[in-house]
């Protein structure tokens, strides 16, 4: 079974091209990362303020660490093209002088497992009302990832939401009746009906709804553009809008929605990218140093 993305192996130290003279040395460290992984970027320097990053045109929030450094987590979508990437990083010194640097890293190809199945063509045939419902629910979900909540709520290490036995891995390519489907955007965790699901970190409940495919579905916003989701729940333990703490009960596993057996689908989005939620468990906590990912076993 392929498990998660391992974290923090290699370092790349990138010299910074300064937009203005900066006292001291600014070091930007980023790491090569596999598709579906979480890259950590760390900026060290003297008297850094207002550090921010831009990937394509999307802002990547940076957070101050305990030691004066700044760090950010960057999600790489499981279908993102492999190859070099560059993140523009801007900041100021305490005299208000601005500087700009670049973090460079490589997106590496990860080989995802594949599964071929045949189903009756009736299985995929939906009436007009159901098709509309599915479309609306997909739009509702996609809209969530367009909003990047700047304030980081998560702290230190993440917990698994249930004891983790993976039954369907992240990124699984399913070929149904010879046609490729969207890859599996999360992991399915084996859990008997009614198993307690806990919040892996602090966050806010931003979606609590009953959807056609994903059944009783909950989404937590952990701040800084990081979201985690919990599908096919039997029931919810929390209301929409409330803040939860790491380890709080948020619901019970079930088999609601379109599933063949009880399990928890656990997914994660970071800056809009579908990332392996097991990558979150490997974030070493406050002010992580930059590191690489590897294909896990």
CB of 266 to Zn ion, least distance (A): 8
**Cβ closest to Zn ion, residue 107 vs residue 187:** 187
Tracing tokens 């088999």 back to the chain, one arrives at: 255
Using the Cα atoms of residue 282, residue 285, residue 287 and residue 289 in order, give the sign of their dihedral.
negative
CB of 109 to Zn ion, least distance (A): 23
**Cβ closest to Zn ion, residue 222 vs residue 265:** 265
The footprint of Zn ion on this chain (CB under 5 A) covers a number of residues equal to: 2
CB of 168 to Zn ion, least distance (A): 6
**Cβ closest to Zn ion, residue 129 vs residue 163:** 163
Binding span for Zn ion by CB under 5 A among 94-102, 202-210, 249-257, 258-266: 258-266
The CB density around residue 237, as the number of other CB atoms within 10 Å, is 16
**Cβ closest to Zn ion, residue 44 vs residue 188:** 188
**Cβ closest to Zn ion, residue 201 vs residue 217:** 217
122 contact partners, CB below 8 Å, separation of at least 6: none
CB of 184 to Zn ion, least distance (A): 6
Binder of Zn ion out of 222, 265, 269, 274 (CB under 5 A): 265
CB of 130 to Zn ion, least distance (A): 20
Residues 130-189 that bind Zn ion (CB under 5 A): 188
What's the CA gap between 114 and 222, in Å, rounded? 31
Please choose, from the candidates 45, 33, 51, 40, the residue with its C-alpha nearest in 3D space to the C-alpha of residue 109: 33
What's the CA gap between 9 and 294, in Å, rounded? 8
Q: Where are the alpha helices (DSSP H) in the chain?
A: 128-145
Residue closest to Zn ion (Cβ): 265
Please choose, from the candidates 284, 135, 153, 287, the residue with its C-alpha nearest in 3D space to the C-alpha of residue 228: 153
CB of 138 to Zn ion, least distance (A): 15
Give the CA count within 13 Å in the CB-facing half-sphere of 150.
7
**Cβ closest to Zn ion, residue 255 vs residue 289:** 255
Binding site for Zn ion (CB under 5 A): 188, 265
């Amino acid at each position: 079974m392929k498990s998660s993305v391992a974290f923090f192996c290699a370092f790349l130290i990138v010299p910074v091209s300064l937009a203005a003279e900066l006292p001291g040395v600014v070091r930007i460290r980023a790491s090569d990362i596999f598709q579906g992984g979480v890259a950590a970027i760390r900026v060290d320097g003297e008297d850094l303020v207002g550090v921010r990053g831009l990937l394509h045109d999307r802002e990547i929030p940076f957070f101050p660490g305990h030691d004066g450094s700044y760090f950010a987590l960057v999600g790489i979508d499981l279908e993102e093209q492999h190859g070099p990437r560059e993140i523009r990083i801007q900041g100021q010194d305490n005299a208000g002088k601005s500087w700009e640097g670049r973090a460079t890293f490589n997106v590496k190809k990860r080989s995802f497992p594949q599964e071929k199945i045949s189903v009756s063509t009736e299985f995929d045939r939906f009436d007009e009302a159901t098709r509309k419902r599915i479309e609306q629910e997909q739009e509702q979900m996609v809209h969530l990832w367009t909003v990047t909540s700047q304030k980081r709520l998560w702290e230190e290490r993440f917990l698994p939401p249930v004891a983790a036995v993976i039954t369907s891995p992240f990124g699984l390519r399913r070929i149904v009746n010879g046609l490729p489907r969207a890859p599996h955007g999360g992991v399915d965790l084996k859990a008997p009906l009614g198993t307690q699901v806990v919040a892996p970190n602090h966050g806010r409940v931003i979606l609590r709804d009953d959807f056609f495919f994903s059944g009783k579905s909950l989404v937590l916003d952990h701040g800084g553009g990081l979201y985690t989701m919990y599908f096919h729940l039997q029931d919810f333990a929390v209301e929409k809008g409330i803040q939860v703490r790491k380890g709080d009960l948020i619901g019970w596993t079930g088999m609601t929605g379109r599933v063949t057996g009880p399990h928890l689908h656990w997914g994660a989005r970071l800056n809009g990218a579908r990332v392996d939620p097991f990558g979150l468990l490997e974030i070493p906590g406050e002010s992580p140093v930059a590191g690489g990912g590897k294909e896990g076993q």
